[in-house]
Structure 1
Amino acid sequence: MSEAPTYSLLIVDDDKAMRQSLLALMAAAGWQAEAVSRGDKALERLTTMVPDVILSDVRMPGMTGLELLAALQPQLAPPLVLISAHGDIPMAVEAMQAGAYSFVEKPYEPRRLLSILTHAAEQSRMRASNNRLKARLYELSGLDRILLGRTQAVAHLREEVLDLAPMEEAVLIQGETGTGKELVARALHDLGPRAEQPFLAINCAALHPDSFEAEMFGTAEGGKGRLQAASGGTLFLDEIGACPLAVQAKLLRVIEDQQVFPTGAATPDAVDLRIICATNEDVDLAVVEGRMRQDLLFRINTFILKLPPLRQRLDDVMLLVAHFLDDYARVHEVAVPELDHEDVATLMAHDWPGNVRELRNVCARRVMLARRGGGTMTAAMAQTPSLEEVPETLREAVAAFERELIGKAIKAHEGRMDAAAETLGIGRRTLNEKIVKLGLNKEALL
């Protein structure tokens, strides 16, 4: 039989007899407890001590218990239980609304007080465990690199992704072009229980009603479609707002019934898909204007993730710039360009209509300018990419460019495919497909 855990308590009370009484009670209960006489002394002690619970008197000279509660950081501080001989219902309500875990009146009943403190300690330990787990998930998944940033908006987005990833419910990702909607969708997939299954990304703007069923559902004679092949995984519907109405009706049937009818088949095929959608437009307005089915919207917006535009997180710009410049410099085997005050001012003055994607492209051009021995951020932002010497056909030019860039990324990251894919701004699966299509030999590159 395992022993009960030892919890710790910080007692804050200006009454010496009460402090001694509480210390004796907690010692008898097997707790580790310390006591201070004032709220400011409690704040000072909390710089070096992290108790499971704080038990504080309400009326004290200098700083009241409610003022102590207000001075604590809600997401980081231990739960606080208030105790007072002058307690009444309005004070208890105010304390709970302010974030107190519970409220106890003096004279206290020992069993009830111990029960409240034990429950508070258990919650505190669980929250700390969850925080450690999330930190470990960040480390394992690279989520803090994929969704890079220190602003509150990005930190909150990372928390939401971790919370929603294990779920099966549909998620609608809203954000302007270039904010990273597909990156978020892939993170939801990669951190969830379907990570080892396919991730099928479909650009809804490119879907056509006439060819949709044959391509997505397959045919009775020609075999399975893309949806059957992705069964067990995640279906990512990008630009859902641009999906033709006729296709929306067919997608709705798939989402509702989790089955598809191959063209010409008499019986349906069952599919098991988690649905994640993304859009850069106002879906409620699209419903009002008749461009989106309301029943489809109700099926895809169980949870909504809103991605902030870069202009609303300018404090992250220089962090992103440093990240992108470092990655592209490694790919192109040049020193990371140094930025001066004029470069920084140029970057911070821009409103970034293309968001993070635009910033990444500017950094790529800045590194290319550095390869030629010069360049500024102003020049990189004004530069229109040009091709000096290219093959005769566009297909050959694109293939040659992709082959060179992918090869350099793989070499720069010493074969770490996730890191190479991130630098290139594509998913790991897409990178693998391009390696095969372009005939690249990964071992030869290394």
Structure 2
Amino acid sequence: MSDTSVVNSLSGSRILVVDDHRNIRLSLKMTLEGEGAIVTEAETYAQALIKLGSLSEAQAIPFDVVLLDIRLPDGNGLDVLKLLSHHKHASQVIMISGEGTVKEAFAATKLGAFDYIEKPFVPERILVSIGRCLDFNNIQVTNKQLSQQVMKGQEILGQTPAVEELKSLISRVAPTNGRVLILGESGTGKELIAKSVHRQSQRAKKPMVKVNCAAIPHSLVESELFGHEKGAFTGATKNRKGLFEQADGGTLFLDEIGELDLNVQAKLLRTLQSGEIIPVGSETVTTVDVRLIAATHRDLEGMVANGEFREDLFYRLNVVTIVSPPLRERKDDLDILVNHFVEDACQEHAIPQRSVTPTAMAELKAYHWPGNIRELRNVIEREVILSDSAEIDSVSSLSTKVSPVATTSTQSQQTKSNSLSKTTPPGDAASFSFESEVVPWQELHQAIGKSYIKYVLNKTQGNVSEAARVLCLERAYLHRLMKKLGIQRGVVVTD
């Protein structure tokens, strides 16, 4: 008797035994059925083909594992293996032979046989091999499911004219090597667009390396992009490849490129012009083949006019511009997006399937979504988690946000007034008296920002990630704001 792990792995598995010796078939059948497997027998090449079915691509093979003798009365088992090797739903095949040769074993392996076992064999040898086959099958199924989940997460959802135009532009731009500049507000899905461009490009099988320029300390940006030599600066204890080298042959996605300082912009421009990089602390020139995709929510043309962004770099980046539309301009896509996010949230948190009623959907469509799709996803996830019933009939988290655009100016002003009173912490920005001492605008701006960030951190029990989601900010950017404003990390903040 085999060990428990083998018993568990064979239970319910479907196995086809193809051998012209009756005693061998019966022996294998008894052994495998004793472990819980479902066994089917075939004596000849012709019978094996009948049991396997039509072998058409549309039809799944009805067996998990095939035990296949090489020598059959009316054919060669290797021919059956060859047919199975061309099938996308093929079973795992273990070849068995009483007169095997090294040449046949090599041929079987080349055609995709999982194992090759010579007769006579002991039952344990067969059981172990089948167990490994089934483990391999499970890994393949898991990988396929994960791949489908990844592809699902990378799909650009929507059917509005704005989204259809976006998809069409991506399909035209992606197969080229042209640089792409993606513009759009925060939370509109610029990274998703970049992934879609890469996935549809000729570089799809090569790496896509992505980095948020706003999340890297200014002192380390050059090292991150171009790499560094050991000893180039304090803390550089070994050589390190930069992102350009890591993306060689593939795509480099620079998100929030407007955050790069002018010094790094100059070095980036040189790399785009020459296709060469020089790691920090090195004199060695390295050639790289990288397609660059950049994105920003900032007005780069305005930054160029103000001397904050290099004009020559702007034109190098701006070969093709893709604009990511804000959610308020594609509200007809809300039904698709909401249902998708509800399904995702239910799966992620192991919650029974929820649905959104027409009443709740109307609330969602009335809101103006300043945080765009990122905000929508967060709101839906929160509602799914907090909902006590299978139907989400009201979106309670919207009541604490700035009001949706009203149908009349009077309604708009009244609603905004009400919502402000709900979101403003007592004793904070809204309660400042203009009869008190006049302060510079920048000082007032920082005071309001600091006060509100502390308020949100209190509401999220000091959870910076959750606070960033509520504020519709990148987590790294919120950390920088907290450091700048003197707000401590990792604690619940109180005044």
Contact 1:369 1:375 in 2 (8 A): no
Q: 1:330–1:170: structure 2 CA closer, same or farther, 3 Å change rule? A: same
Picking from 359, 378, 399, the partner of 1:342 is 359
Q: For the structure 1 residues 350 and 202, does the alpha-carbon distance in structure 2 shift closer, same or farther, using more than 3 Å as the test?
A: same
Cross-structure match for 1:109 = none
SS in 2 for 1:248: helix
CA distance in structure 2 between the partners assigned to 1:292 and 1:306 by the alignment:
19
Match of 2:269 in 1: 252
What corresponds to 1:326 in structure 2? 343
Query: What's 1:149 paired with?
Result: 158
In the other structure, the counterpart of 1:295 is 312
Q: Distance in 1 between matches of 2:216 and 2:350?
A: 40
Give the partner amino acid of 2:337. Answer: L
Gaps of 5+ in 2: 1-147, 231-237, 402-455, 467-495
| Secondary structure of residue in 2 paired with 1:219 | coil
CA contact under 8 A between 1:207 and 1:244: conserved in structure 2?
A: no
SS at match of 1:200: strand
User: What corresponds to 1:369 in structure 2?
Assistant: 386
- Determine if the alignment matches structure 1 residue 357 to structure 2 residue 366: no
Counterpart AA for 2:315 = F
Matched residue, 1:184: 193
Provide, for residues 178-227 of structure 1, a one-character-per-residue CA deviation record: whole Å limited to 9, x for no partner: 11000000111111111122212122223445323333322333332232
**Secondary structure of residue in 2 paired with 1:352:** coil
Work out which of the residue numbers 205, 211, 221 in structure 2 matches 1:196.
205
Matches of 2:463 and 2:371, distance apart in 1: 25
For 1:284, the equivalent position in structure 2 comes to 301
Change (3 A) 1:270 1:389: closer
For each residue in 1:275-334, what CA deviation from the matched residue of structure 2 results, as whole angstroms up to 9, or x when unmatched? Answer: 101111221111111111000001000000011111111111112111111221223333
CA distance, structure 2, for counterparts of residue 170 and residue 325 of structure 1: 35
Decide which of 220, 224, 235 is 2:229's aligned counterpart.
Answer: 220
The alpha carbon displacement at 1:274 in A equals 0.3
1:180 partner amino acid: G
Secondary structure of the corresponding residue to residue 291 of structure 1: coil
Asked if residue 171 in structure 1 is aligned to residue 176 in structure 2, the reply is no
- Range 365-374 or range 235-244, more displaced: 365-374
Matched, 1:234 2:248: no
Q: Structure 1 residues 378, 309: CA separation in 2 closer, same or farther (over 3 Å shift)?
A: same
1:110 aligns to what? Answer: none
Instruction: Summarize the Cα distance change of 1:268–1:315 in structure 2 as closer, same or farther, 3 Å threshold.
Output: same
Structure 1 residue 271: deviation in Å?
A: 1.1
**Equivalent residue for 1:122?**
none
The one-letter amino acid paired with 1:363 is: I
CA distance in 2, matches of 1:235, 1:245: 20
Residues paired across the two proteins, number = 257
Q: Which moved more, 1:269-278 or 1:188-197?
A: 188-197
Give the drift of 1:149. 0.6
CA–CA distance in 2 between the matches of 1:329 and 1:282? 37
Classify 1:144/1:237 alpha carbon distance in 2 versus 1 (closer, same or farther; 3 Å). Answer: closer
Contact 2:356 2:392 in 1 (8 A): no
Aligned 8 A contact 2:256 2:294 in 1: yes
Structure (1 or 2) with the larger CA radius of gyration: 2
Deviation readout 1:9-65 (Å, 9 max, x if unpaired):
xxxxxxxxxxxxxxxxxxxxxxxxxxxxxxxxxxxxxxxxxxxxxxxxxxxxxxxxx
Runs of 4 or more consecutive aligned structure 1 residues displaced over 3 Å after TM superposition: 139-145, 206-210, 371-377, 382-390
Once the two structures are superposed, the pairs formed by residues 256-275 of structure 1 within 5 Å of their partners are: 256-275=273-292
Q: Shift of residue 162 of structure 1?
A: 1.1
**1-side partners of 2:265 and 2:460: how far apart?**
44
Q: What is the CA-CA distance between 1:382 and the residue it aligns to?
A: 4.1
Secondary structure in structure 1 of the residue aligned to 2:181: strand
CA distance in 2, matches of 1:298, 1:274: 15
- Residue matched to 2:171: 162
Q: Deviations over 1:361-419 (max 9, x none)?
A: 111011101257886442133479999999xx979x99xxxxxxxxxxxxxxxxxxxxx
| Separation in 2, partners of 1:209, 1:339 | 44
Change (3 A) 1:363 1:141: closer
Give the counterpart letter for 1:352 in structure 2: W
Contact 1:144 1:158 (8 Å CA) reproduced: no
Which letter does structure 2 place at the counterpart of 1:310? L
TM-score normalized with structure 1 length: 0.52
In structure 2, give the amino acid aligned to 1:163: R
Distance 2:328 2:459 in 1: 34
Spell out, residue by residue over 1:97-128, the C-alpha distance to the aligned partner (whole angstroms, 9 max, x if none).
xxxxxxxxxxxxxxxxxxxxxxxxxxxxxxxx
- Which residue in 2 is equivalent to 1:205? 214
Distance 1:175 1:394, change over 3 A: closer
The whole-number CA distance in structure 2 between the counterparts of 1:249 and 1:346 is 48
Residues 170 and 303 of structure 1 are in contact (CA less than 8 Å); yes or no, is this contact kept in structure 2? Answer: yes
What displacement does 1:265 show? Answer: 2.1
* Aligned alpha-carbon RMSD (Å): 3.1
Q: Does 1:312 align with 2:329?
A: yes
Which blocks of at least 5 consecutive residues in structure 1 are unaligned? 1-138, 399-446
CA distance in 1, matches of 2:165, 2:174: 14
